[in-house]
């Protein structure tokens, strides 16, 4: 009798855990849907003057500044077709504040080419994106050879001697090289799938439990 009681407690504990995990995913799903709608709304807006507006993720802005080409960063990345190359990132001073300007993608062979440094810094239109934490599984940055895998803030300070805003400006330009990164609201949203998985596990355990209960009790 005691073993049957312990088995029942064990089963219902896991059912509770799976239901809790499924419910948590539904909460995350609602949060993600709201976030995606906010991004869509921001991307539809006209660009605002950066100095006149508080910073927020996916804000479309227009500004001007002093771009530093001497401390240009070559960040490993893929283009929209999955071809590897570099994203060209430059320090830029805007109203005495330091930002990083992601100007877009180039193929490997165009690294250090003068052709890629044509930019009208008096008319910069782009989108703000808040920098996320670096992926710890990516290789370390090769600062000496200017070959970057992450925009690690400590490495950037070592390279430039400056601290930068957590918001990166992604340039929106018609220039072919570097090719501007397309900013969209297409972000991963698997919470519904995860919720169904957890609830399905809970239901499966219920059926299995009652099957064994009917067979052995």
- pLDDT digit string (tens) for 29-39? 888 888 888 77
Closest by CA position to 173, among listed 163, 164, 165, 182: 182
The CB-based long-range contact list for 142-147 (8 Å cut-off, 24+ gap) reads 146/72, 146/73, 146/74, 146/111, 147/74, 147/76
CB 25 within 8 A of CB 201: no
pTM, rounded to two decimals: 0.74
Q: What is the mean pLDDT of residues 39-62?
A: 79
Phi/psi of residue 212, nearest 5 degrees = -70, -35
Q: Is the pLDDT of residue 136 over 80?
A: no
Query: 171: buried, middle or exposed (CB in 10 Å: 19+, 13-18, 0-12)?
Result: buried
- For residue 217, name the pLDDT band (cuts at 50, 70, 90): low
Least confident of 42-46, 74-78, 101-105, 135-139: 42-46
pLDDT greater than 70 at residue 71: yes
pLDDT at 1 over 60: no
CA distance 136 to 151: 12
Whether residue 2 has pLDDT greater than 80? no
∠ Cα 66 69 74 (to 5°): 125
Closest to 108 in 3D by CA, of 129, 136, 79: 79
Whole-number percent of the chain with pLDDT over 70 = 94
CA 198, distance to chain mean position in Å, is: 26
For 150-188, write each residue's pLDDT tens digit.
Answer: 999 999 999 999 999 999 999 988 888 899 887 776 777
Mean pLDDT of 199-213: 84
């Amino acid at each position: 009798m005691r073993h049957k009681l312990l088995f029942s407690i064990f089963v219902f504990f896991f059912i509770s855990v799976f239901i809790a995990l499924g419910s948590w995913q539904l909460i995350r799903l609602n949060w993600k849907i709201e976030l995606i709608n906010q991004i869509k709304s921001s991307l539809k807006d006209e660009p605002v003057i950066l100095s006149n507006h508080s910073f927020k993720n996916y804000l479309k802005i227009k500004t001007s500044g002093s771009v530093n080409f001497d401390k240009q960063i070559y960040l490993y990345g893929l283009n929209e077709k999955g071809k590897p190359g570099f994203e060209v990132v430059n320090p830029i001073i805007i109203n005495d504040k330091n930002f990083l300007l992601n100007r877009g993608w180039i193929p490997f062979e165009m690294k250090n080419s003068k052709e890629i440094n044509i930019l009208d810094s008096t008319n910069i239109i782009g989108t703000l994106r808040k920098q996320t934490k670096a992926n710890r599984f990516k290789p370390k940055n090769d600062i000496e050879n200017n070959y970057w895998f992450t925009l690690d803030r400590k490495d950037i300070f070592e390279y430039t001697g400056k601290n930068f805003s957590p918001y990166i400006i992604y340039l929106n330009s018609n220039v072919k090289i570097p090719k501007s990164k397309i900013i969209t609201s297409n972000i991963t949203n698997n919470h519904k799938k995860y919720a169904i998985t957890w609830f399905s596990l809970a239901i499966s355990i219920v059926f299995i439990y009652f099957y064994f209960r009917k067979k052995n009790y």
